[in-house]
Amino acid sequence: MKFLETDHPFFRPLWIRVVVVGFCVAWAAFEFYGGSSFWGMLFLAMGGISFHGFFIAFDPDGKKKPQASHPEPTADKGKPDHD
């Protein structure tokens, strides 16, 4: 399970991605201003993770090919299949 599903169609428009990242950073600034450094760091981290997911690793065309974690097993031609 991912923290943020960046490939969801809701996040395709640029303005939505900017608003999400901006909100996290603005909320972090609000928390720092109020003296809550823990919550400020938490929201700043969320903003950083969102920025990376939406602007650095984001695939706007959705053409990312899923990488197989395990290669497909190859069947031996000379051995019968026993189930």
Cα end-to-end span (Å), the chain: 33
Half-sphere exposure (Cβ direction) of 23: Cα atoms closer than 13 Å: 7
Residue whose token pair is 């051995």: 79
Comparing CA positions, the residue from 60, 27, 30 lying closest to residue 46 is 27
Task: Give the largest Cα separation in the chain, rounded.
Answer: 72
pLDDT exceeds cutoff 90 at 26: yes
Instruction: Compute the distance between CA of residue 28 and CA of residue 36 in angstroms, rounded to an integer.
Output: 9
Comparing CA positions, the residue from 20, 70, 74, 67 lying closest to residue 48 is 20
Among residues of the chain, what percentage have pLDDT more than 90?
49
pLDDT digits (tens, 9 = 90+) for 43-81: 999 999 999 999 998 777 766 655 555 656 565 566 666
Mean pLDDT computed over every residue of the chain = 83
